[in-house]
Amino acid sequence: MAETISFARGAPSLDIVDVEGLRAAAGRAFEADPAGVTAYGTAVGYPPLRRWIAERHQVEPEQVMVTNGSMQADAFLFDALVEPGDVVIVERPTYDRTLLSLRQRDADVRMVELESDGIDVAALERVLASGAHAKLAHIIPNFQNPAGCTLSGPKRRTLIELARDHGFTIFEDDPYEALRFEGDQLPRMVSLDPERVVYASSFSKTVCPGIRVGYLVGPAPLIERIVKIATSTYISPSMVSQAIVHQFCVSGALENSIETVKQALRERAHALCAALREELPDARFVAPQGGYFLWLDLPRGTDVAALFKAAADRGVQFVKGSDFVLEGGKSSLRLAYSGVTVEQIEEGVRRLADAYREVSSSLAGAGAA
């Protein structure tokens, strides 16, 4: 059996993780602050990292809390804001774990279609006008997981106006922002309206996911409420991880790491787009300008569940589009190019195209019969 090629996981490959830089940062963390690193600490996070993040976002430290990955930050925010039956707007498609987390809380999840420049704000207006009293809108503004697209500047402003008019909070879930390899940076919604928007980001995609460090930026009273939930959940997040990240950031290693990851993503995204154009001309996609993901639409009627199996038989993995929606998505899939080399991408797409030919020929055969 040939080597398995995985387009499934939204994680960086080991060759673009600065292992040596992390090891050195860990040494400095234990040397510089043995008491702070080894203590329980508090649920707000490791204070020097909290201050560093606050400065980067130009907010007060009281507006920041640092968590064990941003997934934990999402969970705390939902615990604070979402009651069973509350209407929560999400993009369609959206990050599968967010969808699961909201459904576990019995939220009334309303999916609003994504366009190539982000959520369809006219469709969102219709949902709001129909009497849905939205409590929260979860938006992944940059290089969306799974669709890869980015919310345009005008749509960011429209969303804020809608949030003000209809009284809901925007949850700006933004772990990929620093990983733009083409085009211009757009303003964060949280900087446009710090009262209406709660922002989350993470070091998982720019440093490595195993370090489990993410954070929230929001209005101080809400952060204070969430800190109480965090205290009763885990006393405090990992001070060791956060102190390592802090040393990594202040030494300048973060900026180098972002450059390394971006460079690799640019190369991999270009290779993926070229291979898809060559091998799978039936597929439709928007070329990503950053981030980890590309969303592939195959012709209507393509059975992606069958493709998933045919690809697995050839040692290729991806995530089915249907995992990112409440219903439908059956002819789409997500390809993550963050964890695969250019050679693996080329070989993986060849195998995927071969699997597609098998699946579409059996479909044509079934139709003719």
Task: Kindly state whether residue 140 participates in binding ligand PLP, applying the rule CB under 6 A.
Answer: yes
Residues contacting ligand PLP: total by CB under 6 A: 13
Q: How far is the CB of 57 from ligand PLP (least distance, A)?
A: 16
Choose the stretch contacting ligand PLP; rule: CB under 6 A; options: 37-45, 66-74, 118-126, 307-315: 66-74
CB of 320 to ligand PLP, least distance (A): 16
Helices (H), the chain: 19-32, 34-38, 47-57, 69-81, 96-104, 121-129, 153-166, 189-192, 220-234, 239-250, 253-279, 304-313, 342-368
Residue 270: count of CB within 10 angstroms of its CB: 17
Name beta bridge partners: 115: 118
Q: Which of 48, 49, 70, 226: binder of ligand PLP (CB under 6 A)? A: 70
Of the candidate residues 71, 178, 245, 311, the single one contacting ligand PLP (CB under 6 A): 71
Build a one-symbol-per-residue string for 143-182: x at contacts with ligand PLP by CB under 6 A, - elsewhere: --x---------------------------x-x-------
List binders of ligand PLP among 182-211 (CB under 6 A). 202, 204, 209
CB of 56 to ligand PLP, least distance (A): 17
Q: Interface with ligand PLP includes 95 (CB under 6 A)?
A: yes
Please report how close the Cβ of residue 67 comes to ligand PLP at its closest, in angstroms.
8
Task: For the chain, give the number of residues.
Answer: 369
| Integer angstrom CA distances of residue 301 from 32, 262, 283, 362 | 60, 35, 13, 12
Q: How far is CA 260 from CA 50, 118, 264, in A?
A: 25, 27, 6
* Contact (CB, 8 A) for 339 and 13: yes
By CB under 6 A, name the binding residues for ligand PLP: 10, 69-71, 95, 140, 145, 173, 175, 202, 204, 209, 214
